[in-house]
Structure 1
């Protein structure tokens, strides 16, 4: 179906939608490698084998497009699937967050409603499409999303040349794992039930459109490893957050890891009944990554249900809001690092773990960078989980509601220092479009508890900053290995979270809506009211920039530069057009030539920045907001370098369906790099 809605206006609808909606490589894939190259040899081919690229670093070694010629970048081709919706009628709203894959001369991507397309990567011409024919109905506050597909290729030459010797594997909103022949798009009959595996097997509460994958599986060691989305804030008894591995050939379950401790499992064994997995455990909805050489996969976890109250968790959160290393062959826990203790702010780990090995960083040990919604980036030894640099347990505000169990401290990285500032919002920090706007924000702030990051939700209302949208969300970070630069884009938004005693909430019986969100948190003593901290004119009350791009020197841990990301033009009424930064969703791409490409912003622009100083070098007006992470590739030696971005909105902008490829015109291309 194809319907269109135009809703660009003041920043308010953007903030509200973001507050609600932000809720793979292979050892058998020839392009994947545990070590990044700093740059490419002239005109070599370079593909994009998994969601975040090699090492999940959102980095390309290609250098044909560079700071000296990027201003000449042009649109080469566009592919439109027609598979999107503005949310009218029974159909849910769509958000095009996909990062395609490129293998050989073919580009693969999925649509929000689960169709898969294979395109000629040079021309954008369609080779095949697959429709899973699922029922795509409205599903709460979440837009329909498919962030990507995974690719597996047999290593045996005879098997690789046969039917389904190269497979596309992905999850759908019907909670199915599907395997397709990458050459023809036909279902692989030997996988599960005629190409399909139900992910709802032995998962309690897994009703349609409540439990399903939004990120691609990670393929390693012949297994496809996948988690799933579950509803936030609704109930204590949402489906389990179990992570499972399925054999890429047969679809058989290889192993399952449930993010609960053995002690918790023993205490609650009698509560399972006929189910295999516990309800309400932390889930893994963000992209997974892995290291084939170490035989480990890395899963980022969310916090346990019902998210914003944790007084009766009884240890269910031991692996919540963490990055967890599992044995790729068995699923056994190897180590975990918790980024938030007893997370009651919905600060789940939303971005893909990124791998790096850099001289002078952590003594050159193989590292993992985990970015968080708090604007923290933890640098860990990826073999052991030990921090490469000191992590400090700092005292945080106490005094939550009756029954709450708070951690007295929270972990803070020291290298790099937290990227999200300031730590606490006071009257002098209030912003807006004009002076009266700021005064109104100051009066609003005075009503609520505001004591800095990790101030617990309260009955009077607590300012949560950064909001549960981030900071750094699912768009993740990029690492330029040659320069030792880490790049992160962030949202800077504040929200108010107010807990309501169960009797009061039930008597109120609020209807869902915006700007005032209400969630039942069924099974807990409280319901919750949540809303953005906004000025009367629709601007965020917190200080500018409202969206930013930051580059960090990984060797020193120092910020190299930071700048606003996005312009309010077209989002706010004239004369309130500023380079103040805008809310953003999507990630950055770094190139070996010294560029950073990013869409993400609400002003519908695709931009290129100089990675050494943050200066803007190129921008392109998109037909829809580009809320995805770009990729770059060259199909064959001597061919063009392409940069591709999916532009199709994110719930707060016009819904669309454009996969857009950019390259240099023939007259601008150099014979060598």
Structure 2
């Protein structure tokens, strides 16, 4: 596995592993309390910032809605700004004009737009080189992710898993924008996995609107030459009667050959998902001795309330651990990694089920520290009332069939969790003070720090070994983004977006 990122943070997760682990050590548990804000960048774009900045050679690339910015990473000064109008007529997540960042290859940067176009820009000027639309035939498609560069290809996905689209991962030639391959995450009739969808009767075409979108970037093992791409929930979200079966490849992680798009293996976390427990949380790649055997591991804290450990060479299920304190949809996980469901399902009257519609965790990034050998993530402890009513799919409308609401007198709570995958236990758990509305993610450093956006509108740094708080700064806005770290001229910075602003921090 390659060395972790240091001065540069060249991709959404920092590197291909998804660990969000930086080798920078200037900021330590001993001096972190001296951190202070350095500069703030304000975006006037339509959507709140959910971007993780990318930094290469002292230049920071930030996206807001369909716009891209190049900033001086030491001062925040705008070097260039590429403008593109937001798209009209979008629905659901796409209508929020969310953009989580860029991918960089040489002197080009790549970004997705709210209506699922892939743009190639000149990294030196911001000028448009090419623009390729990549989602067709269903106006409910959108895109909210950052692309992923693998070799000479740019990999992208879509949003709309709650809106009746058919998900896919697509790869484009980095120079020309020509499509190289496309893997459809819902198999059509006759393909492997199609038997997990209705094949006869009124709903035999439900696969066409089956969800399994790919709205966060995957991770990549350079030695195995496999990408690991997580997929969203099936559609409609809460009505399983129109899509009887396991509904592959929804709520899964897919191991694909990045050269051809061929499926090597899959693992489905929540077969026949009825609660919007999509699996788009980052699949983190760790090389370690596990249960006495050297293994290439994949670790994911899943929205369904369980942490999973897989052998990423074969997809074999190795272990799981419940982290959701409120959990009533499953009695546990069997020896093959399949959940043992309770008899609770969404009903017309409404059924209280846990975790909530927001999941035990969600898209906000986890981290694995090579210093502490702990896996950190933010968890949401909450429940929802899930209701179901069969509805027909219609373009231009969401396709939840029907909805979820918050139970009265139910108190939601967030926690920062430090999980030891080798001892199968939590090293520590920190309750968060706030309204459980944040989507701030986590990162770690080689000096043993964990930095994150907490639930009280604060950028916070804690000791990764103990969870002891070391620094916090109130940004005055809810965070919906994950932090990163970089260095310029030997000085280490942290950066995180909150509301419409991007904040940076460093030692004096």
Question: Which of 33, 41, 44 matches 1:71?
Answer: 33
Cα deviation per residue 1:48-86 (whole Å; 9 max; x = unaligned)?
Answer: 1111112211111111111111111011111112224xx
Cα deviation per residue 1:21-51 (whole Å; 9 max; x = unaligned)?
Answer: xxxxxxxxxxxxx3345xx9xxxx5211111
**More strand by percentage:** 2
Aligned residue for 2:337?
A: none
Alpha-carbon shift at residue 453 of structure 1 (Å): 6.8
CA contact (8 A) 1:335 1:384 kept: yes
Counterparts of 1:263 and 1:619 in 2: how far apart (Å)?
Answer: 53
Task: State whether structure 2 residue 178 is matched by structure 1 residue 259.
Answer: no
Q: What is the DSSP-based 3-state SS (H/G/I as helix, E as strand, rest coil) of the residue aligned with 2:33?
A: helix
Question: Which of 583, 588, 604 matches 2:442?
Answer: 588
Task: State whether structure 2 residue 272 is matched by structure 1 residue 310.
Answer: no
Aligned residue for 2:336?
A: none
Higher mean C-alpha deviation, range 133-142 or range 586-595: 133-142
Question: Which of 297, 302, 310 matches 1:372?
Answer: 302
Equivalences for 1:191-590 in 2 at 5 Å?
195-200=130-135, 203-205=136-138, 207=139, 210-230=140-160, 232=162, 238-261=164-187, 263-265=189-191, 278-313=208-243, 317-360=247-290, 363-387=293-317, 389-390=318-319, 413=320, 417-424=321-328, 455-500=344-389, 521=400, 527-535=401-409, 540-541=410-411, 546-567=413-434, 582-590=436-444
CA contact (8 A) 1:589 1:596 kept: yes
Counterparts of 2:154 and 2:350 in 1: how far apart (Å)?
Answer: 43
Aligned residue for 1:108?
A: 61
Question: Which of 119, 133, 137 matches 2:71?
Answer: 119
Counterparts of 2:451 and 2:108 in 1: how far apart (Å)?
Answer: 29
Alpha-carbon shift at residue 620 of structure 1 (Å): 0.4
Alpha-carbon shift at residue 224 of structure 1 (Å): 1.0
Alpha-carbon shift at residue 362 of structure 1 (Å): 6.8
Q: 1:476 to 1:361 in 2, by over 3 A?
A: farther
Q: What is the DSSP-based 3-state SS (H/G/I as helix, E as strand, rest coil) of the residue aligned with 1:365?
A: strand
Counterparts of 1:453 and 1:129 in 2: how far apart (Å)?
Answer: 52
Q: 1:461 to 1:647 in 2, by over 3 A?
A: same
Task: State whether structure 2 residue 471 is matched by structure 1 residue 628.
Answer: no
Alpha-carbon shift at residue 132 of structure 1 (Å): 2.0
Aligned residue for 1:170?
A: 111
Alpha-carbon shift at residue 364 of structure 1 (Å): 2.5
Alpha-carbon shift at residue 584 of structure 1 (Å): 2.7
Counterparts of 1:278 and 1:629 in 2: how far apart (Å)?
Answer: 33
Counterparts of 1:596 and 1:645 in 2: how far apart (Å)?
Answer: 13
Alpha-carbon shift at residue 600 of structure 1 (Å): 4.5
CA contact (8 A) 1:264 1:314 kept: no
Counterparts of 1:242 and 1:500 in 2: how far apart (Å)?
Answer: 27
Task: State whether structure 2 residue 467 is matched by structure 1 residue 604.
Answer: no
Counterparts of 1:264 and 1:307 in 2: how far apart (Å)?
Answer: 24
Superposition RMSD in Å: 2.8
Q: What is the DSSP-based 3-state SS (H/G/I as helix, E as strand, rest coil) of the residue aligned with 1:278?
A: helix
Alpha-carbon shift at residue 292 of structure 1 (Å): 2.2
Counterparts of 1:461 and 1:343 in 2: how far apart (Å)?
Answer: 17
Aligned residue for 1:410?
A: none
Counterparts of 1:77 and 1:65 in 2: how far apart (Å)?
Answer: 18
Counterparts of 1:566 and 1:172 in 2: how far apart (Å)?
Answer: 35
Alpha-carbon shift at residue 286 of structure 1 (Å): 2.2
Q: What is the DSSP-based 3-state SS (H/G/I as helix, E as strand, rest coil) of the residue aligned with 1:358?
A: strand
**More helix by percentage:** 1
Counterparts of 1:318 and 1:211 in 2: how far apart (Å)?
Answer: 19
Question: Which of 186, 204, 215 matches 2:127?
Answer: 186
Alpha-carbon shift at residue 368 of structure 1 (Å): 1.2
Q: 1:259 to 1:529 in 2, by over 3 A?
A: closer
Q: 1:592 to 1:247 in 2, by over 3 A?
A: same
Task: State whether structure 2 residue 459 is matched by structure 1 residue 617.
Answer: no
Q: What is the DSSP-based 3-state SS (H/G/I as helix, E as strand, rest coil) of the residue aligned with 1:356?
A: strand
Q: 1:315 to 1:367 in 2, by over 3 A?
A: same
Q: 1:500 to 1:72 in 2, by over 3 A?
A: same
Q: What is the DSSP-based 3-state SS (H/G/I as helix, E as strand, rest coil) of the residue aligned with 1:117?
A: strand
CA contact (8 A) 1:594 1:612 kept: yes
Counterparts of 2:239 and 2:102 in 1: how far apart (Å)?
Answer: 34
Aligned residue for 2:504?
A: 661
Question: Which of 49, 70, 79 matches 2:10?
Answer: 49
Alpha-carbon shift at residue 231 of structure 1 (Å): 5.4
CA contact (8 A) 2:86 2:97 kept: no
Counterparts of 2:82 and 2:246 in 1: how far apart (Å)?
Answer: 39
The count of residues paired between Structure 1 and Structure 2 equals: 485
Cα deviation per residue 1:521-544 (whole Å; 9 max; x = unaligned)?
Answer: 5xxxxx424210132xxxx346xx
Counterparts of 1:259 and 1:550 in 2: how far apart (Å)?
Answer: 31
CA contact (8 A) 2:219 2:282 kept: yes
Alpha-carbon shift at residue 330 of structure 1 (Å): 0.2
Cα deviation per residue 1:143-175 (whole Å; 9 max; x = unaligned)?
Answer: 22101111112xxxxxxxxxxxx2111110132
Give 5+ residue unaligned stretches, structure 1: 1-33, 85-93, 154-165, 189-194, 391-412, 426-450, 506-517, 522-526, 569-581, 649-656, 666-673
Equivalences for 1:24-173 in 2 at 5 Å?
34-37=1-4, 46-54=7-15, 55-84=17-46, 94-111=47-64, 113-135=65-87, 139-140=91-92, 143-153=96-106, 166-173=107-114
- Higher CA-based Rg: 1
Alpha-carbon shift at residue 664 of structure 1 (Å): 0.3
Cα deviation per residue 1:272-330 (whole Å; 9 max; x = unaligned)?
Answer: xxx9x933342111222212222111110112211211223255712110000000000
Q: What is the DSSP-based 3-state SS (H/G/I as helix, E as strand, rest coil) of the residue aligned with 1:634?
A: strand
CA contact (8 A) 1:297 1:326 kept: yes
Counterparts of 2:297 and 2:368 in 1: how far apart (Å)?
Answer: 12
Alpha-carbon shift at residue 225 of structure 1 (Å): 1.1
Q: What is the DSSP-based 3-state SS (H/G/I as helix, E as strand, rest coil) of the residue aligned with 1:56?
A: coil
TM-score for both structures, normalised by structure 2: 0.89
